[in-house]
């Protein structure tokens, strides 16, 4: 199961999987928080079932979270991938399903929505991307795997972010394949594979 909010380029990386690492993994559905987005069109083009659960259709975030958990449950996924899903997922969903996310920095450095700009402002020599399990914090869940990306002279936010996205897509495919093929365990903040 994949959750999207926009263009769906991370979803497309999972669909295309040029390495064939996901050949035994099925995307059972794609969910979104809004209608009319490219990510849903990408899913429909591949005949993947879709659903939309807009936040504004519910009186509270708690009600939305329950509705999201219910919509996900209808597809019985083993794993939920937040692929550019720009909403904070609530406790009902997180207590029911394992959710993984990507982040354009080497967590715990530079959490939040402006990670690439924050890395440039900080003047660090490298940043990168992280695939992590989602918890109730913002980018605070257990780290599964990370890849460093050097910051080059002349980088701006757009150039650096595009370079990170290339690594991010490859890393997510690799991590999802590993999680789905071997399972995992979490002890505190440490993720282990059998």
Which residues have a catalytic role annotated? 103
* Dist. CA 134–CA 99, nearest whole Å: 6
Q: Which residue, 3, 6, 9, is CA-closest to 31?
A: 3
* Dist. CA 100–CA 180, nearest whole Å: 12
Give the CA-trace dihedral at 87, 14, 98, 132, to 10 degrees: -70
* Dist. CA 128–CA 103, nearest whole Å: 9
Query: Parallel, antiparallel, or unpaired: how do β-strands 2-4 and 30-32 relate?
Result: parallel
* Dist. CA 40–CA 47, nearest whole Å: 10
DSSP class of 142? P
């Amino acid at each position: 199961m994949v959750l999207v909010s926009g263009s769906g380029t991370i979803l497309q990386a999972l669909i295309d999987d040029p390495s064939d690492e996901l050949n035994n993994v099925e995307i059972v559905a794609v969910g979104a928080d809004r209608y009319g987005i490219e990510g849903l069109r990408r899913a429909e083009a591949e005949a993947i079932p879709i659903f939309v659960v807009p936040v504004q259709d519910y009186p509270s975030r708690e009600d939305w979270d329950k509705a999201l958990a219910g919509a996900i449950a209808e597809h019985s996924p083993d794993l939920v991938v937040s692929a550019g899903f720009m909403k904070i997922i609530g406790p009902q969903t997180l207590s029911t399903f394992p959710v993984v996310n990507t982040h354009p920095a080497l967590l715990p450095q530079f959490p939040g929505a402006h990670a690439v700009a924050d890395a440039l402002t900080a003047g660090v020599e490298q940043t990168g991307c992280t695939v992590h399990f989602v918890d109730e914090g913002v980018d605070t869940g257990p780290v599964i795997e990370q890849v460093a990306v050097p910051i080059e002279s002349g980088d701006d936010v757009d150039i650096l972010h595009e370079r990170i996205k290339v690594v991010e897509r490859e890393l997510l495919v690799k991590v999802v394949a590993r999680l789905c093929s071997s399972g995992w365990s979490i002890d505190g903040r440490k993720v282990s594979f059998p």
